[in-house]
Structure 1
């Protein structure tokens, strides 16, 4: 397995975990400023990691 493809899969999993954590924080927030900041930070990082991982897996060719 290619290292780039493995790194892409890792980024995808981290992004997915970040998005799930964002959903968890969203459901348990009271609406304070700190909660909103963490929602934005974890959500953006989750989306960036997820998109980067999917793009890396999709564009890396298998060389066997």
Structure 2
């Protein structure tokens, strides 16, 4: 159960990171600092989201 909760938390953090990267992309001025933040938040968001979905998908529930 704990791995599934951690997976959900990671997936939510990944979604937040991807949304922030998208909002920064839409509102950015195109400077070097903006491009770096978009890349960092987009990459971290994608990694967190993929890790979270993987944990939720591959965690087996035990019948107690």
- Relative to the length of structure 2, the TM-score reads 0.96
Does 1:59 find its partner at 2:58?
A: yes
Which 4+ runs in 1 deviate beyond 3 A?
A: none
Equivalents in 2 of 1:40, 1:19: separation in Å? 10
CA RMSD of aligned residues (A): 0.4
Does 1:32 find its partner at 2:45?
A: no
Deviations 1:13-60 (A, max 9, x none): 000000000011001110000000000000000000000000000000
Q: Where do 5+ consecutive residues of structure 2 fail to align?
A: none
- Relative to the length of structure 1, the TM-score reads 0.96
